[in-house]
């Protein structure tokens, strides 16, 4: 177990170097440069050269890569061309709103999804067997941005309860506790959008696995020894059925860190997804690479955690090396 | 009013609400707040309220006093003297002096503000500072557009004591600006908003009216509009044409149409012909395309009526230089287009296609491309469109010159010398964004543009620009499609927005 952990942790920096190498050359290979977005229009040739020189973009690509990696080792991610600020500062200001959206949405959608999936597998009634899966599929099939508009239309325009977008009220600047209340208030609709768009996957996956499990011989045995249908599911089947669900939840987390772009755009939420798109559009190379770096670390750590959770849930899975 | 907000309102100390806040919305992050080192709209829409220029432009783009309370021009239009207000102060309390003006032009604008660098930068011989409140620009030759090029968008004045010495590109004050304008910088929440507060020592009596100005970043134009309709936001700087009908029926919202906006104005959506390519270097082909595209339909279906068919290479907004009938001969006439293509030797092949043409454009212009595709297909030209993001399109068009046609919205600005000349003079061919993309070379045009810039008398200038436009109409290096309008919308309870300029909140009430 310990050996496995050490090996896995050592893999992380190696993977990071590979990821950064590939993305460094890919982003520089994309046509275009940061000049047009930095200078505006009406640029002269010498001004163009000035910008290119200033950001050392005139050096050969391998040299640029060497400089970049040398700086990375010392913890210097460089300065964003567009924001004229250190890459870590820029990312730092945008990662909190993203986590605020992603963590609760994954937690809520998976716990709710597990509960509802369990409900729908447990009962034989039409409502839970058919209508629950069908309705969740319908909701999940709605494109995220449209679902966002729909919720804005219902809750902000018609009912006039929640704000249309933003993270705080711009007209009044709150402080202290009121500030947090204001943020929570603004969080509601984007969070609901994210939860609804993820819910079906967990429900349907768990339901499918449970339906499979209850047909296996051990389930009949469990019932034969006197357990009720529900008791048998809770104490025996759920553990088996939940494994793929854990994988899905782990993947969700990683995906959503930047995958919430549509929700962030519709609700003008100042998150990392929007930052990423903007950084790519203006060819802000240090910022793109910085975001990818942070993102890769998060994904790898989450994968590791997912694997650890596996061993806890299913004792059959161990990390002993074979042979 | 939202229920929850009401609850919070009761909980908050009363003092907060004595403040009057104006909330604006725009679509993208400024990044930094130094208007001297970029012409980008994304920076100017924020920073132009923090800084000021020597003059500002009124609704007709004519100069009125800003930092300079008065000015005089020598008879030969070579010496411009500006008297700076004695009560003009930087936000840190220091006075604004002629040294600041000199520093800004010589060390920042002439180096890093691309429009001012390429326009005024070439004209100015020396900047003199006879006393702290007087600055004199000595020009190499007379230059009529001088004064209109000194507003906050073209020439924001920066504080020398903050920026000097050092490189203004990397200066920390780019993120903590100290200006002399109507609003003082308070906070930049990345991806969310920029908060400004009223400059209590502002030199113009009674301005600004609001205690706080918050400019929110709302990327999606539909939710921007919804925020305006619900009252969360007071002013938005663009309105999608498709929503116009609905908005016009809403009396709570007022729509303003302008031919100019901060960062540019008098824009013409233009097709560039690549004169280095065989097919598009053929004048008959270029004329055929001009006859084949239904520009009236473009105004109706793409612009929703918000604009007009371009009738000359210079926008109608620059009325003294615009020649109304310069493009008269190119009526919408597919038969004529087919005739011209036959003459040029491009017969229809078995599949009915005469030629393929490749067109590069930004994704947001795809509706123009759709309309063109249909029109050109009728005369046997197959248009192959390549939508590239801004950075990629700029390098493909101006760097690699890899296109037959491209479609760009070129803004003429306040004077033909700012935004017209750059498209046509041969010195502007090369890897420069938004330059002479056609690679059009005509020595007569080059010299006419130079002469027009040096001429002081407006009538004589107009005659030169008329001559230029007639030559361009014959040579057809570009095809001018439609003139766009800029739409802004605001809450009808408020008025006084200067929506054509950078400091639009200056006189808002």
Query: What pLDDT band is residue B312 in, cutting at 50, 70 and 90?
Result: very high
pLDDT at position B10: 54
User: Quick check: A171 and B391 CB within 8 A?
Assistant: no
CA distances to B39, B97, B291 from B413, rounded to whole Å, are: 12, 28, 27
The pLDDT tens digits of the residues spanning A195-209 come to 988 888 888 888 888
CA distance B212 to chain A (A): 9
User: Quick check: B117 and A267 CB within 8 A?
Assistant: no
CA distance A176 to chain B (A): 11
pLDDT at position A323: 39
User: Quick check: A164 and B230 CB within 8 A?
Assistant: yes
Out of A41, A170, A185, the one facing B39 most closely (by C-beta) is: A41
User: Quick check: A43 and B433 CB within 8 A?
Assistant: yes
User: Quick check: A42 and B41 CB within 8 A?
Assistant: no
A149 touches chain B (CB under 8 A): yes
User: Quick check: A39 and B396 CB within 8 A?
Assistant: no
Domain positions in chain A are 87-313
Out of B114, B192, B216, the one facing A47 most closely (by C-beta) is: B114
Chain B residues with CB-CB distance to A267 below 8 A: 223
User: Quick check: A31 and B4 CB within 8 A?
Assistant: no
CA distance B115 to chain A (A): 5
- Are the C-beta atoms of residues B476 and B286 closer than 8 Å to each other? yes
Integer Cα distance of B106 and B163 in angstroms: 13
User: Quick check: B391 and A94 CB within 8 A?
Assistant: no
Q: What is the mean pLDDT of residues B277-286?
A: 94
User: Quick check: B174 and A283 CB within 8 A?
Assistant: no
pLDDT at position B291: 96
Residue B23 bridge partners (DSSP): B214
Q: How many CB atoms lie within 10 A of CB A269?
A: 28
Distance of CA A103 to the CA centre of its chain: 8
User: Which of 3.10.180.10, 3.90.1330.10, 1.10.3720.10, 3.40.50.300 would CATH assign to domain A87-313?
Assistant: 1.10.3720.10
User: Quick check: A170 and B38 CB within 8 A?
Assistant: no
pLDDT at position B3: 63
CA distances to A157, B39, B171, B489 from B236, rounded to whole Å, are: 18, 20, 30, 5
A172 touches chain B (CB under 8 A): yes
* Residue (of B474, B334, A159, A36) closest to A151 by Cα position: A159
Integer Cα distance of B112 and B504 in angstroms: 24
pLDDT at position B6: 57
- Are the C-beta atoms of residues B129 and B99 closer than 8 Å to each other? yes
Out of A174, A185, A268, the one facing B223 most closely (by C-beta) is: A268
- Look-up of token digits 């287009």: B337
User: To probe the interface with A, which of B4, B9, B195, B401 has the most A CB atoms within 10 Å?
Assistant: B4
Q: What are the residues whose beta carbons fall under 8 Å from the beta carbon of B328, sequence distance 6 or more?
A: B311
User: Quick check: A32 and B393 CB within 8 A?
Assistant: yes
User: Quick check: A47 and B4 CB within 8 A?
Assistant: no
Q: How many CB atoms lie within 10 A of CB B276?
A: 12
The pLDDT tens digits of the residues spanning B379-407 come to 999 999 999 988 889 889 998 999 999 99
Integer Cα distance of B184 and B164 in angstroms: 21
Average pLDDT, chain B: 89
Question: Kindly report the CA angle at A169 between B206 and B14, in degrees rounded to 5?
Answer: 65
CA distance B3 to chain A (A): 6
- Are the C-beta atoms of residues B136 and B84 closer than 8 Å to each other? no
CA distances to A102, A207, B237, B414 from B152, rounded to whole Å, are: 41, 63, 18, 13
CA distance A276 to chain B (A): 11
Integer Cα distance of A31 and B392 in angstroms: 5
In chain B, the residue whose alpha carbon lies closest to the alpha carbon of A180 is: B8
User: Quick check: B192 and A82 CB within 8 A?
Assistant: no
A299 touches chain B (CB under 8 A): no
User: Quick check: B263 and A31 CB within 8 A?
Assistant: no
Q: What is the mean pLDDT of residues A50-63?
A: 86
- Are the C-beta atoms of residues B293 and B372 closer than 8 Å to each other? yes
Out of B190, B264, B388, the one facing A270 most closely (by C-beta) is: B190
Share above pLDDT 70 across residues of chain B, in percent, rounded to a whole number: 95
Q: Is the pLDDT of residue B254 over 60?
A: yes
Out of B40, B193, B219, the one facing A40 most closely (by C-beta) is: B40
Q: Is the pLDDT of residue B14 over 50?
A: no
**Strand boundaries in chain A, DSSP class E:** none
Out of A38, A185, A270, the one facing B4 most closely (by C-beta) is: A185
Query: What pLDDT band is residue B18 in, cutting at 50, 70 and 90?
Result: low
Integer Cα distance of B150 and A253 in angstroms: 51
The pLDDT tens digits of the residues spanning B298-308 come to 999 998 888 89
Q: What share of residues in chain A are helix, strand, coil (percent, to 5)?
A: 75, 0, 25
pLDDT at position A137: 84
> Residue A323 burial (CB < 10 Å; 0-12/13-18/19+)?
exposed
pTM: 0.84
In chain B, the residue whose alpha carbon lies closest to the alpha carbon of A83 is: B31
Asked if this assembly's ipTM is beyond 0.95, the reply is: no
Integer Cα distance of B234 and B228 in angstroms: 6
pLDDT at position A242: 85
A186 touches chain B (CB under 8 A): no
Task: Give the number of A-B residue pairs with CB atoms closer than 8 Å.
Answer: 206
* Residue (of B391, B38, B434) closest to A33 by Cα position: B391
* Residue (of A319, A34, A166) closest to B191 by Cα position: A166
* Residue (of B41, B79, B33) closest to B413 by Cα position: B41
> Residue A189 burial (CB < 10 Å; 0-12/13-18/19+)?
buried
Integer Cα distance of B279 and B357 in angstroms: 8
Pairing of strands B405-411, B355-361: parallel
């Amino acid at each position: 177990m310990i050996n496995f952990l050490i090996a896995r942790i050592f893999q992380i920096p190696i993977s990071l170097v590979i990821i950064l190498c590939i993305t460094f050359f890919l982003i520089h290979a994309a046509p275009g440069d940061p000049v047009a977005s930095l200078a505006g229009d009406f640029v002269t040739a010498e001004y163009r050269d000035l910008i290119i020189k200033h950001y050392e973009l005139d050096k050969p690509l391998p040299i640029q890569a060497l400089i970049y990696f040398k700086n990375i080792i010392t913890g210097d991610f460089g300065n964003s061309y567009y924001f004229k600020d250190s890459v870590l500062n820029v990312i730092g200001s945008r990662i909190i709103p993203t986590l605020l959206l992603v963590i609760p949405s994954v937690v809520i959608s998976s716990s709710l999804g597990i509960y509802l999936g369990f409900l729908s597998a447990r009962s034989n009634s039409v409502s839970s067997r058919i209508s629950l899966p069908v309705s969740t599929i319908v909701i999940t099939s709605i494109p995220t941005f449209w679902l966002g508009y729909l919720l804005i239309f219902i809750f902000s325009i018609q009912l006039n309860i929640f704000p249309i977008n933003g993270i705080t009220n711009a007209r009044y600047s709150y402080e202290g506790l009121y500030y947090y209340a204001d943020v929570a208030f603004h969080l509601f609709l984007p969070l609901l959008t994210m939860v609804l768009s993820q819910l079906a996957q967990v429900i349907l996956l768990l339901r499918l696995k449970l339906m499979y499990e209850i047909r296996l011989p051990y389930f009949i045995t469990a019932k034969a020894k006197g357990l009720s249908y529900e008791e048998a599911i809770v104490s025996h089947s759920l553990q088996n059925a939940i494994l793929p669900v854990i994988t899905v939840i782990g993947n969700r987390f990683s995906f959503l860190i930047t995958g919430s772009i549509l929700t962030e755009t519709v609700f003008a939420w100042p998150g990392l997804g929007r930052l990423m798109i903007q950084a790519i559009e203006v060819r802000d190379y240090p910022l793109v690479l910085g975001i990818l770096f942070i993102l890769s670390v998060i994904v790898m750590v989450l994968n590791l955690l997912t694997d650890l959770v596996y061993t806890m849930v299913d004792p059959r899975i161990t990390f002993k090396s074979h042979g | 009013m939202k229920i929850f907000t009401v609850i919070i309102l009761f909980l908050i100390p009363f003092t907060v609400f004595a403040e009057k806040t104006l909330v604006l919305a725009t679509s993208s992050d400024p990044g930094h707040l130094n208007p001297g080192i970029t012409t980008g709209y994304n920076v100017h829409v924020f920073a132009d309220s923090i800084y000021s220029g020597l003059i500002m432009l009124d609704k007709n783009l004519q100069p009125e006093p800003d930092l300079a309370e008065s000015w005089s021009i020598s008879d030969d239009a070579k010496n411009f003297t500006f008297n700076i207000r004695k009560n003009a102060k930087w936000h840190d309390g220091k006075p604004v002096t002629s040294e600041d003006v000199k520093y800004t032009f010589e060390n920042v604008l002439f180096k890093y503000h691309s429009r001012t660098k390429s326009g005024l930068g070439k004209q100015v011989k020396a900047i003199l500072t006879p006393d702290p409140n007087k600055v004199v620009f000595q020009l190499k030759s007379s230059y009529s557009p001088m004064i209109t090029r000194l507003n906050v968008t073209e020439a924001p004045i920066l504080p020398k004591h903050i920026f000097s010495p050092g490189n203004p590109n990397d200066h920390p004050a780019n993120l903590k600006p100290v200006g002399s304008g109507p609003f003082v910088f308070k906070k930049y929440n990345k991806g969310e908003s920029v908060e400004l507060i009223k400059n209590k020592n502002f030199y113009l009596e009674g301005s600004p009216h609001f205690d706080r100005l918050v400019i929110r970043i709302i990327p999606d134009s539909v939710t921007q509009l919804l925020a305006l309709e619900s009252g969360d936001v007071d002013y938005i700087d663009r309105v999608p044409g498709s929503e116009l009908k609905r908005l016009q029926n809403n009396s709570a919202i007022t729509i303003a149409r302008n031919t100019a906006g901060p960062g540019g104005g008098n824009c013409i959506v233009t097709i560039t012909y690549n004169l280095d390519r065989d097919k598009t270097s053929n004048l008959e082909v270029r004329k055929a395309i001009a006859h084949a595209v239904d520009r009236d339909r473009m105004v109706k279906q793409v612009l929703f009526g918000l604009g007009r068919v371009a009738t000359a290479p210079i926008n109608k907004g620059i009325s003294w230089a615009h020649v109304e009938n310069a493009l008269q001969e190119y009526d919408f006439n597919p038969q004529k287009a087919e005739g011209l293509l036959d003459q040029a030797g491009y017969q229809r092949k078995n599949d009915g296609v005469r030629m393929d043409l490749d067109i590069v454009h930004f994704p947001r212009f795809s509706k123009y491309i759709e309309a063109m595709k249909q029109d050109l297909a009728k005369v046997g030209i197959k248009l192959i469109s390549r939508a590239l993001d801004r950075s990629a399109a700029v390098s493909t068009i101006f760097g690699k010159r890899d296109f037959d046609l491209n479609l760009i919205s070129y803004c003429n600005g306040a004077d033909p010398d700012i935004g017209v000349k750059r498209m046509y003079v041969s010195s502007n061919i090369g890897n420069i964004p938004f330059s002479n993309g056609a690679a059009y070379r005509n020595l007569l045009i080059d010299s006419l543009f130079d002469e027009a810039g040096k001429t002081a008398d407006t009538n004589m200038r107009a005659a030169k620009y008329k001559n230029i436009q007639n030559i361009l109409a014959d040579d057809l290096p570009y095809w001018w499609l439609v003139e766009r309008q800029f739409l802004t919308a605001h809450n009808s309870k408020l008025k006084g927005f200067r929506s054509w300029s950078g400091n639009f909140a200056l006189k808002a009430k």
